[in-house]
Amino acid sequence: MVPVTRGALGQIWKLSGDGRSWAVKELLFGCDAAQVAREAALRDSAADLGIASPRLHPARHGVHVTRVDSPGGGSWVKLYDWIDGAEADPSDPAVLDWFGRTMALLHRAGAGAVEGPGAWYERCPDDAAWEDVLKKVRDAGLAWADELDRFVATSVPRLGRWVAPSAPGGLVTSHRDLRPQNVLVGRDGPVLLDWDNAGPVSAEREFARAVHVWSGGNDVDVASVRRLARAYREAGGRAVLTGPESFSMLFATALNYVHVQAETAVNPEVTTEQRDFGARQAVICMREVPGLGAVSRLVTALGT
């Protein structure tokens, strides 16, 4: 078993033997068994629609997560089929067509969700929370403290004003992390990975976040935006953008991610590796935070 890559929630290992390979996801921050069950259910439903994804193997007694004990305390792990492939190229027209259709299928299949999205997608840290983490970063003497201070003074209020709870209608059960990094293109075509965040979400807001991250982020590629949206519509997707308010989920998740990673960077109860990862991620994401100018260009592009 060899380490492959590290994500925000876990370490991916490649387990090989007897001519076969599997992906083992080690959960670094504990396990929510109910969330894993939602992940497995949505992944299986998507497979029935023809959406390719790695199989999440059940352990004994049918559960999809297992505790592996060790002298160091042990970990929760999940076991998936191993997928060989390259990360999706969001500039590839065929990949954009596939993704637009796939998102529409997910939204159609998951229509009618009743439970509202969690706080990660609907709210962002308040002023007191930002001041608290900023003080911790300063006290720790981290080099990016001034950059975090500027971020809190500018980007946080500018984006945070658009973050609000979703309206009751238009909720779906979906993937909630539809990024090019979560798609591998293998011999048989694209495969959708990382269903860990599956749950209820506003279709409009997931669509808005997706068109932003799949069309170049703040460097908007209008042709990509329109191609993705056209494939989504032709496959029955109904979400539309109305303005900056459609991007509430994009702004909320971006701000929450910076806050969580900054907190991790100064948390004495996690490993040095986890603190270093948090620091790197906080700085990267502060510099790549979504801009209102890009959002305006997306709305204009799809409105015309």
What is the per-residue pLDDT for 168?
Answer: 85
| Whether residue 180 is found in the same domain as residue 214 | yes
Is 69 in a helix, a strand, or coil?
coil
**Are the C-beta atoms of residues 73 and 15 closer than 8 Å to each other?**
no
- Sort 123 into a burial class: Cβ within 10 Å, 0-12 / 13-18 / 19+: middle
pLDDT tier for residue 39 given thresholds of 50, 70 and 90: very high
Give yes or no: residues 59 and 122 share one domain. Answer: no
CATH classification of the domain holding 18: 3.30.200.20
Of 99, 62, 63, give the one whose Cα is nearest residue 180. Answer: 99
**Together in a domain, 23 and 126:** no
- Computed over every residue of the chain, the mean pLDDT equals 95
Same domain, 9 and 131: no
Q: Give the chain's domain count.
A: 2
54 and 97 housed in the same domain: no
| pLDDT level of residue 22 (50, 70, 90 thresholds) | very high
Task: Based on the fold, state whether residues 12 and 105 are members of the same structural domain.
Answer: no
Q: Among 82, 97, 127, where does a domain finish? A: 82
pLDDT tens for 52-64 read: 999 999 988 889 9
Give the residue numbers spanning the domain of 222: 85-304
At 253-265, the pLDDT tens digits run: 999 999 999 999 9
Query: Last residue of a domain, which of 18, 49, 82?
Result: 82
Whether 107 contacts 203, CB under 8 Å: yes
Last residue of a domain, one of 62, 82, 102: 82
Q: What is the pLDDT of residue 218?
A: 97
Check pLDDT > 80 for residue 171: yes
- Residues, the chain: 304
Please determine, for residue 169, whether its predicted confidence score (pLDDT) is greater than 90: no
Q: How far apart are CA 50 and CA 44, in angstroms?
A: 10
Residues 56 and 149 in one domain: no
Give pLDDT tens digits for 238-287.
Answer: 999 999 999 999 999 999 999 999 999 999 999 999 999 999 999 999 99
Buried b (16+ CB within 10 A) or exposed e, 249-284: bbbbbbbbbbbbbbbbbbeeebeeebbebbbebbbe
Are 11 and 114 found together in one domain?
no
Question: Quick one: 7 and 54 in the same domain?
Answer: yes
Phi, psi for residue 127 in degrees, rounded to 5:
-60, -40
The whole-model pTM stands at: 0.92
For residue 238, the domain's CATH number is 3.90.1200
Structure confidence at residue 304 (pLDDT)? 61
- pLDDT tens digit string along 106-154? 999 999 998 999 999 999 999 999 999 999 999 999 999 999 999 999 9
User: When comparing pLDDT for 175 and 114, which is higher?
Assistant: 175
Tell me: do 139 and 19 sit in the same domain.
no
Supply the pLDDT for residue 73. Answer: 77
Is residue 65 domain-shared with residue 127, that is, in the same domain? no
Q: Are residues 101 and 72 in the same domain?
A: no
Per-residue pLDDT at 285: 97
Query: Per-residue pLDDT for 8 more than 90?
Result: no
Question: What pLDDT is recorded for position 158?
Answer: 97
